[in-house]
Amino acid sequence: MKTRTILAFVLIMVCALALTGCAQFFSSFTSMVIRTVAFDANGGSAIASQRTSLVKEMPVSAKLGFALEGWYSDAAFSSDAKISFPYDPLTDATLYAKWLPATEGILYEANGSGYMVSKDPNKDLSSDAVVIPAYWRGKPVTNVASWGFSSLGTIKSVVIPETVATLGASAFAYCSNIQNVETKAAVPPSPATNAFLSCTSLLSISVPSASLAAYRAADGWIVYASKMTTNNLSFSSYTVSFVTNGGSPVSSVSTTLISDVPVSSKASNALEGWYTDASFAAGTKVSFPYDPLANITLYAKWISATDGLGYSGNATGYSVTNYTAAGAVNIPEYWLGKPVTAIESWAFSYASLTSITIPVTVTEIGSSAFKSCTGLASLTIPAEVTSIGANAFRDSTAFTSITIPSKVIYIGDAAFYNSSLTSVRVDPVDPPTTTANVFYTSANAVPTGLSITVPSARVAAYQAAFGWSVYSAKISAQP
């Protein structure tokens, strides 16, 4: 009897183990089934679908101005939907890329479970507002390298994410134009020794409100205590949608910060800017970088502009040049939300213009900007212009009168040489710096039919001034 009991017990154990093994086997078999995994890069470079039982490494997509935070099984990026790699798909699946704003030109070096950042020596930074992302290719950015961004005079502001625990010595030392720093870390990154040494333009360091006292007492940070303030930027990700009002589409983004102006285009128009109000009410224009405080829709405002113009960023906004524009040309006041402040040298030289509308935002007209525009019959120089470059209107013979506005302090050599001017009104109180041949004919002579009127109390000053004295007989008081 005892023997039978023992045998029965052994038989039961063997069956149990067999059944458990079968279950484990079939479970393993299920996870090894070939599945289709598709990837929605959300504006990043395309990732090909895979037929596989295991995605071994995180697929790498690239998107200008952004860092890949990770892949999610949910298009809304639910916190529990983030994928870890290696990834074993249990069904056919689509994974969605989540992006974080990031300045181009940052170097990422693997550092244990995360990354260390510094300026890439082989690339220029894409913006003077440097945004370090919290994640790169799915892993946190935890360190800013010692001397990592030092001596970069182009940087004006820095955002340090909440994931950074180590701020290396002299990380931003000698960045003489940095004005504002925002750090999102609740615990002050260390050691931060001389982190902002000789940042002579530094105005403020924004820190989480709950951590202000900790930052003001922390090693490395204490020397900047007087510059510290609490930030009111949100750390949460919100969805920003864009209504382009007839422009090319701009995809919605879920993000904590939009670092650069979203670009849309529309024929015969220039993007004046983005607004939170559909009717563009005063005070609702958005500045970039833009930190959304809730899910929000932005609306594009357009202004008339001639197609075929080109724009280059400058210190105050944009300068304009010409590619294919002709006839009656309208230069817009704004381009991608910033003012057009200058006309580049040679911008419209030899162009087939009949008229030009220069916006009130322009302060500088470059050398030879309208040289040999022989059909340019209509021209108004806007009130804010301070400088007219050499040869700016040389050999442009169609217009006969011009007003030099009151803020002009410089008119370059031969600016109106060989024009057909008969009437010049000069409004500056003090004679602008110029040369004698500014209005000369092609024979290097003062035009016989030329009349120059100046402020009534300043006739003698103009008649005696260098560059103007040669025209003394032509200068009279304004009525």
Owning domain of residue 426: 305-477
Phi-psi map region of 151: left, alpha, beta (phi>0 left; psi -120 to 50 alpha): left
> Is residue 27 in a domain?
no
User: Among 194, 253, 205, 252, which Cα is nearest to 228's?
Assistant: 205
What are residue 88's phi and psi, to 5 degrees? -105, 100
Assess whether 465 and 317 both reside in one domain.
yes
Cβ atoms within 10 Å, residue 93:
15
User: Among 221, 356, 336, which Cα is nearest to 286's?
Assistant: 336
Cβ atoms within 10 Å, residue 360:
11
User: Among 241, 244, 298, 242, which Cα is nearest to 271's?
Assistant: 244
Task: Supply the pLDDT for residue 127.
Answer: 81
Assess whether 335 and 454 both reside in one domain.
yes
Task: Supply the pLDDT for residue 17.
Answer: 43
Cβ atoms within 10 Å, residue 356:
22
> Is residue 145 in a domain?
yes
- Residue 176 in contact with residue 149, Cβ under 8 Å? no
Q: What is the CATH number of the domain that holds 154?
A: 3.80.10.10
In whole angstroms, what is the distance from residue 57 CA to residue 87 CA?
Answer: 8
Each residue's pLDDT tens digit in the chain (479 positions)? 445 555 444 455 444 444 444 444 434 444 568 999 999 999 889 999 999 999 999 999 998 888 999 999 999 898 889 999 999 999 999 999 999 888 899 999 999 889 999 999 999 988 888 999 999 998 999 999 999 999 999 898 899 999 999 999 999 999 998 988 999 999 999 998 999 999 998 888 989 888 999 999 999 999 999 999 887 654 456 899 999 999 999 999 887 778 789 999 999 999 999 999 999 998 899 988 787 877 899 999 999 999 999 999 888 899 999 999 999 999 999 999 899 999 999 999 999 999 999 999 999 999 999 999 999 998 899 999 999 999 999 999 999 999 999 999 999 999 999 999 999 999 999 999 999 999 999 999 999 999 999 999 999 999 999 999 999 999 999 99
Provide the domain count of the chain.
4
Q: What is the CATH number of the domain that holds 49?
A: 2.60.40.4270
Assess whether 214 and 294 both reside in one domain.
no
> Is residue 88 in a domain?
yes
> Is residue 425 in a domain?
yes
Amino acid (one-letter) located at 5 = T
Assess whether 188 and 262 both reside in one domain.
no
Which of 194-220 are b and which e, b meaning 16 or more Cβ less than 10 Å from the residue's Cβ?
Answer: bbbeebeebeebbbbeebbeebbebeb
Chain-centre distance of CA 124, in angstroms? Answer: 14
Domain boundary among 192, 208, 230: 230
Chain-centre distance of CA 436, in angstroms? Answer: 43
Assess whether 389 and 286 both reside in one domain.
no
> Is residue 250 in a domain?
yes
Assess whether 310 and 292 both reside in one domain.
no
- Residue 400 in contact with residue 421, Cβ under 8 Å? yes
Task: Supply the pLDDT for residue 23.
Answer: 40
In whole angstroms, what is the distance from residue 247 CA to residue 157 CA?
Answer: 31
Amino acid (one-letter) located at 214 = A
Domain boundary among 253, 274, 301: 301
> Is residue 21 in a domain?
no
Assess whether 131 and 180 both reside in one domain.
yes
Strand partners, 475: 452
Domain boundary among 230, 256, 271: 230
- Residue 239 in contact with residue 252, Cβ under 8 Å? yes
Assess whether 431 and 286 both reside in one domain.
no
Assess whether 321 and 467 both reside in one domain.
yes
Question: What angle is formed at CA 51 by the lines to CA 50 and CA 57, rounded to 5 degrees?
Answer: 50
The CA-atom distances, in angstroms, between 465 and each of 58, 229, 380, 426, 470 are: 72, 53, 25, 14, 9
In whole angstroms, what is the distance from residue 331 CA to residue 310 CA?
Answer: 10
3-class DSSP assignment, residue 457: helix
In whole angstroms, what is the distance from residue 276 CA to residue 296 CA?
Answer: 8
Assess whether 378 and 462 both reside in one domain.
yes
Assess whether 200 and 74 both reside in one domain.
no
Task: Supply the pLDDT for residue 260.
Answer: 82
Strand partners, 159: 131, 182
Assess whether 374 and 463 both reside in one domain.
yes
> Is residue 324 in a domain?
yes
> Is residue 452 in a domain?
yes
Instruction: Please list, in sequence order, all residues whose beta carbon lies within 8 angstroms of the beta carbon of residue 425, skipping any fewer than 6 positions away.
Output: 401, 402, 403, 404, 452, 453, 478
Amino acid (one-letter) located at 387 = S
